[in-house]
Every structure is written in C-alpha cells, then in structure tokens.
C-alpha cells in the first residue's frame, strides 16, 4: 500500500458550513452528514426526478431546514455557488478522466478560495496493484455502468485537483476499501 497523508475524519467538515453533494441521490449521504455535523447545510444536486424524490425523503426525515435537493445535470449545468465544500461520493469513478476533469473544474468555479473538494471513492493504491476489489469494480464501471470509468488512484485524483485549481489536502481511509481524497481551492 502506498504512503498516505491522513486528515482527521472526525473534524474535517467542522470547517465548512454549506456542502454541495453532486449526484447525491435520495439524501442518504446528506442525512448522515447533517446528523453528524449539526451546523452543516447540505444541497444535493441531482437529476430533476431524483431531486424531487430526495426532497420528499428530506421532508419525511425532518431535515428540510438544513438539507435540500436541487435539479442539476452535472455535465450540462454549472454547479450552484454559495457552498464552501463540494462532495463527489461514489460518483467520479463512473466516468472517464476527461469527464472527471470537467466536473472538478466546475467544482473549482463554484467555490471560493479555501473551499473544499471531497471525493469518496473505492481505494486503488498509487501503484495500481490492488486491492483486488479495485480490479473487479473497474471492470464493472468500464463495461456495465458507463463504459468509461474505473477505480482511479489517489495520485490521479490529486493531479486532477491541481489541474482544476485545488491543492491536495490529504486522504482518509474509510474502512479497508474506500478512501476520501481531500483538496482545498487555491
């Protein structure tokens, strides 16, 4: 396993007040994050039908005062401004490097300097030698899910961060096979 810079996972979102969850689905991540960080507002950006379903679930959970979903086509629309962190949770690995670069560039344009980008993704070590799960997930992404994605390395994401105007800020392992790759807008 490659060397990894680690930030404390328990306090990282304490620095931020408004998170954009790109492709956030029906509020699973948003509700968990809102429960863990009571000061945090979360905006989910997803396709119109998904955003409508998410808003119904958010209302049922009693989180409408801090969590909301807005219609967003991540590839065609610019990201809303006013957030100080952007989350891509199990979203970027579905797409090609070119699409990932475009999405990170949109995140960069939406954030002020000091804002964060957080990528939650399956772990692939920097040498591309494992873990084994990365190989079979890559096959799934490339052949079934989208025909273009794979499990990318932290080093690749950090290079794309730099290209988009982010400074890599560390990696946090979540269990044995998921990593959060953090960056800060310069």
Instruction: Name the pLDDT band for 98 (thresholds 50, 70, 90).
Output: very high
Task: Give 104-109 contacts, CB < 8 A, sequence gap 24+.
Answer: 104/160, 104/161, 104/163, 104/164, 104/166, 105/164, 105/165, 106/74, 106/78, 106/79, 107/20, 107/22, 107/79, 107/164, 108/164, 108/165, 108/166, 108/185, 109/78, 109/79
Please give the residue range of the domain that contains residue 156. 12-185
pLDDT tens per residue across span 112-125: 999 999 999 999 99
Reply yes or no on whether the pLDDT at 1 is more than 50. Answer: no
| Comparison of pLDDT for 94 and 175, the residue scoring more | 94
Residue 150 domain-assigned? yes
Of 109, 81, 71, 76, the C-alpha closest to 20 is 81
pLDDT tens per residue across span 48-86: 999 999 999 999 999 999 999 999 999 999 999 999 999
Mean pLDDT (the chain) is 92
Reply yes or no on whether the pLDDT at 16 is more than 50. Answer: yes
Q: Say how many domains are in the chain.
A: 1
Residue 3 domain-assigned? no
Residue 90 domain-assigned? yes
Reply yes or no on whether the pLDDT at 6 is more than 50. Answer: no
Q: Do strands 85-89 and 116-122 pair parallel, antiparallel, or not at all (unpaired)?
A: parallel
3-state helix, strand, coil in the chain (%, to 5): 35, 25, 40
Residue 137 domain-assigned? yes
pLDDT tens per residue across span 81-96: 999 999 999 999 999 9
Residue 1 domain-assigned? no
Residue 152 domain-assigned? yes
What does the pLDDT read at residue 11? 66
pLDDT tens per residue across span 128-162: 998 989 998 999 998 888 889 999 999 999 999 99
- Kindly state the helix (H) or strand (E) to which residue 51 belongs, with its residue range: helix 48-61
* CA 33/CA 36 separation, integer angstroms: 5
Instruction: Name the pLDDT band for 13 (thresholds 50, 70, 90).
Output: confident
Reply yes or no on whether the pLDDT at 7 is more than 70. Answer: no
Any idea what the CATH number is for the domain that residue 20 is in? 3.40.50.150
Residue 108 domain-assigned? yes
Residue 113 domain-assigned? yes
């Amino acid at each position: 396993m490659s060397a990894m810079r680690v930030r404390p996972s328990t306090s990282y979102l304490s620095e931020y007040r408004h998170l954009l969850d790109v492709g956030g689905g029906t509020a699973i991540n948003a509700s968990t994050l809102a429960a863990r960080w009571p000061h945090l507002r979360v905006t989910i950006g997803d396709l119109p039908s998904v955003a409508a379903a998410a808003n119904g679930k958010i209302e049922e959970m009693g989180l409408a005062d801090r969590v909301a979903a807005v219609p967003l086509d991540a590839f065609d629309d610019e990201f809303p401004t006013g957030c100080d962190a952007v989350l891509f949770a199990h979203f970027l690995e579905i797409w090609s490097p070119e699409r990932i670069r475009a999405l990170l560039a949109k995140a960069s344009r939406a954030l002020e300097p000091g804002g964060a980008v957080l990528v939650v993704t399956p772990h692939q070590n920097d040498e591309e030698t494992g873990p084994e799960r990365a190989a079979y997930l890559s096959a799934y992404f490339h052949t079934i899910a989208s025909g273009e994605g794979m499990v990318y390395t932290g080093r690749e994401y950090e290079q794309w961060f730099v290209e988009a105007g982010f400074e890599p800020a560390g990696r946090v392992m979540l269990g044995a096979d998921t990593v959060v790759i953090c960056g800060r807008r310069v």
